[in-house]
Amino acid sequence: MDSRFKVGGPLRNRSDRLEGFERRRRRLPHWEGPGETYFLTFRLMCPDFVDLTQERIGRLVVEAIMFFADVRYELYDYTIMPDHVHLILKPIVHDGKAERLANVTHSLKSWLASRINRIVGRSGQLWQHESYDHIVRDEADYQEKAAYIFDNPKRAGLVNDPAEWPWWGVGPRK
């Protein structure tokens, strides 16, 4: 895998992930100034045909998330689940104006849809039209959402220790 994914990409092993989990506590979104921080979720339309955590597809999802990081948004935490993706991000602000979340979401979903469809040999609607987003109000809210993301694979019964989940990560180190 591309070396730029070493930090903040799919963290390779448990200690990297634990270190990432600690590090993201120190890299908080800033609450002052223009723009909001969002907890964003988008889901597959037909989870029977696609598993987002299948190796090749998961790597593609990470690639998309990282491709737009620091360009379209500041990236905090993310996790890829078999049928959905959670992210905490803050759209980039240009000239005092934040990029619209809807545009960011559209870019991510469409970048991925064409590529994933090609891999699984299907066409048409990959994602549910609606994405769920929630403004992260303050640091306490952020910590709650970040913990929700980190624990999601354990809650879903996919791992016993959330640090074992290979598809959790944080944004690139500045």
The angle subtended at Cα 76 by Cα 53 and Cα 173, nearest 5°, is 100
Residue 141 C-beta: closest distance to Ni ion, Å? 17
Residue 37 near Ni ion by CB under 5 A: no
Question: Under rule CB under 5 A, how many of the chain's residues touch Ni ion?
Answer: 1
Query: For Ni ion, which is the closer residue by CB, 64 or 149?
Result: 149
Residue 36 C-beta: closest distance to Ni ion, Å? 21
Nearest CA to 51 among 160, 167, 150, 130?
Answer: 167
Query: For Ni ion, which is the closer residue by CB, 69 or 81?
Result: 81
- Report in angstroms the alpha-carbon separations of 78 from 117, 136, 169: 22, 14, 5
Residue number with the smallest Cβ distance to Ni ion: 152
Q: Where does the chain have alpha helices with state H? A: 14-26, 55-68, 101-120, 139-155
Contact residue for Ni ion among 37, 105, 131, 152 (CB under 5 A)? 152
Residues that bind Ni ion (CB under 5 A): 152
